[in-house]
Amino acid sequence: MVEALTVHPDWDRLYETAAGQQGMFTTKQAAESGYSPQLLVHHTRAGKTARVRRGIYRLVHFPPGEHEELVIAWLWSERSGVLSHQTALRLHGLSDVLPAHVHLTVPSAWRHRRFRLPPDVVLHHADVAAEDRAWFGAVPVTTPRRTLSDCAKQGLSPEVLGQAARQALRRGLVAHSELAEVERALEPFGGIGN
Domain ranges of the chain: 11-59, 68-189
Tell me what pLDDT residue 194 has. 62
The answer, yes or no, to whether residue 187 has pLDDT greater than 90, is: yes
- In the prediction, which pLDDT does 155 show? 92
- The helix/strand/coil state of 11 is helix
Q: In this structure, are residues 150 and 142 in contact, taking their beta carbons and an 8 Å threshold? A: yes
pLDDT over 60 (residue 96) = yes
Rounded Cα distance, 21 and 154, in Å: 29
102-106 and 139-142 as β-strands: parallel, antiparallel, unpaired? unpaired
Query: Is pTM, for the whole model, over 0.95?
Result: no
**128-149: per-residue pLDDT in tens?**
999 999 999 999 999 999 999 9
**Strand 49-53 to strand 56-59: parallel, antiparallel, or no bridges (unpaired)?**
antiparallel
| pLDDT surpassing 50 at residue 6 | no
Residue 143's H or E segment, with its range, is none
Q: What percent of the chain has pLDDT over 90?
A: 81
**pLDDT at residue 157, as a whole number:** 94
43 pLDDT more than 80 = yes
Is the pLDDT at 4 greater than 80? The verdict is no
Buried/exposed code over 80-94 (b: 16+ C-beta within 10 A; e: otherwise)? ebbbbbbbbbbbbeb
CA 148 – CA 154 distance, rounded (Å): 10
CA distance 182 to 176: 10
| Cα distance between residue 70 and residue 139, in whole Å | 7
Rounded CA-CA distance 132/112 in Å is: 24
